[in-house]
């Protein structure tokens, strides 16, 4: 339901996911660090990961989005989002009392997108970056631009808050279509992943770097 009214706080799929999170948090034999609850997804799951972070900033400390797009989009955004889709107010309206309270923790976001994506247009990444930096109240101009893991094939950008901490990051995967980037192998930075229709060898294991970034704020 990322593409209709069911995407909002308290509705259908978002509520079901949060109910599952709360179930785990309430288990007597589990201890949960609420600053380490993250959400991630690819494609429709990427859009829904954005919905979850927008709807439940009180639950999720961060999100990793692979080939997703801005909150509030319908399926038309997959082909061509419009400037209005970058409106951060759409995010704030989901839980305004939390989003507008400067004392509350807000979800950070790392965004991955192939620049030859044939299903979810690459422009979605820029519109999502604009929307999320706006939601967090930080500058839309990157504070740092470089490469990921020394690989010039991938353009990495960071957007910092007032304290200099990276709160939004984007990675452009040059020449990649609609997929999660993986790096097959047995090392920690490789993850044992294998290639497939929606997992492409890009020399970088996206899930590994997402978790590292969400935990530490560093690539």
Residue pair 78/124 in contact (Cβ under 8 Å)? The answer is yes
Burial of 47 (0-12, 13-18, 19+ CB in 10 A): buried
By DSSP bridging, strand 151-160 and strand 144-148 are: antiparallel
Burial class (CB in 10 A: 0-12, 13-18, 19+), 22: exposed
Order of strands across the sheet that contains 38-42: 38-42, 62-66, 108-114, 166-173, 151-160, 144-148
Token pair of 49 as six digits? 């990961």
Per the structure block, which two tokens stand in for 171? 């990675």
Residues forming the active site: 43
Site of tokens 């639950």:
59
Asked if residues 140 and 168 have their Cβ atoms less than 8 Å apart, the reply is no
CB-CB contact of 209 with 154 (8 Å): no
Three-class secondary structure of residue 113 per DSSP: strand
């Amino acid at each position: 339901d990322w593409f209709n009214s069911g995407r909002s706080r308290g509705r259908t799929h978002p509520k079901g996911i949060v109910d599952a999170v709360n179930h785990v948090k309430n288990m007597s034999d589990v201890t949960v660090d609420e600053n380490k609850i993250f959400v991630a997804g690819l494609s429709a799951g990427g859009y829904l990961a954005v919905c979850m972070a927008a709807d439940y900033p009180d639950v999720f400390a961060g999100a990793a989005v692979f080939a997703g797009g801005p909150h509030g989009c319908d399926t038309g955004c997959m082909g061509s989002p419009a400037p209005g889709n970058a409106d951060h107010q759409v995010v704030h309206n989901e839980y305004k009392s939390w989003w507008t309270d400067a004392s509350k923790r807000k979800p950070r976001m790392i965004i991955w997108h192939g620049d030859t994506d044939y299903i979810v247009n690459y422009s979605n990444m820029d519109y999502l970056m604009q929307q999320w930096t706006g939601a967090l109240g930080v500058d839309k101009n990157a504070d740092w631009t470089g490469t990921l893991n020394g690989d010039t094939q991938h353009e990495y950008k960071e957007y910092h808050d007032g304290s200099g901490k990276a709160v939004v990051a984007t990675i452009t995967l040059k020449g990649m279509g609609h997929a999660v980037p993986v790096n097959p192998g047995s090392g920690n930075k490789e993850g044992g992943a294998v290639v497939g229709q929606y997992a492409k060898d890009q020399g970088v294991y996206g899930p590994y770097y997402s978790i590292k970034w969400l935990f530490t704020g560093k690539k």
